[in-house]
Structure 1
Amino acid sequence: MPGTFSQIYIQLVFAVKGRRSLISEQWEQELYKYITGIVTNKNQKLLAINGMPDHIHILIGMKPSCCLSDLVREIKKASNEFIKTKGYSRSKFDWQEGYGAFSYSHLALDNVIQYIHNQKEHHRRRTFQEEYKDFLIKYKIDHKEEYLFDWIEE
């Protein structure tokens, strides 16, 4: 779109269905590369991706013509099929419905990228449930507990 200038940065967070720990360190990098390809093929810019066995964080530089819900649906659908086709998970793998989407300014990008890259260290101190609820509170997102992810009691 000529004459259209934007800076839209969105961090996506979504979990494995039932928040089961199914993403293995043995193949997580292949999954991240595959998701990077999906985002790139949709003409968006992937800035950071990382996660834990039960969830994933993706930071995307988005164009205003992109529909976020369509992009997330495509990422989940295609990556789910990729995991199944490759036989990576011995258990039935699915992403949970829903996702978190949090926006950032250009000035915050370095901190967000570092936060995403340090997921494994970060989660030694806090659970995904604590992290996700803190995002909702920090960004003043109205929510009801019954609509959050299905949490597995730890």
Structure 2
Amino acid sequence: MIYKSNYNIVYSCKYHIVFCPKYRRKVLVNGVDTRLKELVNSICEELHVDIIEMEIMPDYVHILLGVDPQFGIHKAVKTIKGTTSRILRQEFPWLRSQIPRLWTNSYFCSTIGGAPLSVIKQYIENQKSK
């Protein structure tokens, strides 16, 4: 297992996150998916959040993240969803007419510890082939 450290803690905090567009509409297509990946990568780099794996489906997003516990997973997800919603709705105006806001208020979050990391990573990688 690989551990990271900051000023006063050593940690390995990995989270499997899933979130969906409002009404689970299949709007993450036609370039929105590609741009969303670019934005998430950029946001996570800025926040010092590690993306271990990510897959964008037409109606949901899977991300496996490594997050500093002092920063917090909720703050990371809130920043990712808020920033991507604002930018994607500016760049793809048709999204504004499809749904009142891009993301639902909720998201799924699970810590990774019980299942081996490789199993979770493979699960996310294989989403497109289902």
The two structures have a TM-score, normalised by structure 1, of 0.71
Check conservation: 2:55, 2:61, Cα contact below 8 A.
yes
The count of aligned residue pairs is: 122
Alpha-carbon distance, 1:16 to partner: 0.6
Give the structure 1 partner of residue 89 of structure 2: 84
1:57 aligns with 2:65: no
**TM-score, length basis structure 2:** 0.83
Superposed, 1:1-154 pairs within 5 Å as 1-87=6-92, 89-90=94-95, 91-92=98-99, 93-105=101-113, 108-122=116-130
Runs of 5+ in structure 2 lacking a partner? 1-5
Shift of 1:106: 9.3
Residues 51, 116 of structure 1: 8 Å contact kept: no
The one-letter code of the counterpart of 2:15 is: I
The answer (yes or no) to whether the contact 1:9–1:103 under 8 Å persists in 2 is yes
> Partners of 2:125 and 2:87 in 1: how far apart?
23
| Contact map agreement 1:50 1:58 (CA 8 A) in 2 | yes
Using the alignment, how far apart are the partners of 1:109 and 1:75 within structure 2?
Answer: 22
Same amino acid, percent of matched pairs: 22
Q: Deviation at 1:85?
A: 1.5
Letter in 2 for 1:66: F
Q: Distance in 1 between matches of 2:46 and 2:55?
A: 19
State the Cα distance separating 1:3 from its structure 2 match.
Answer: 4.5
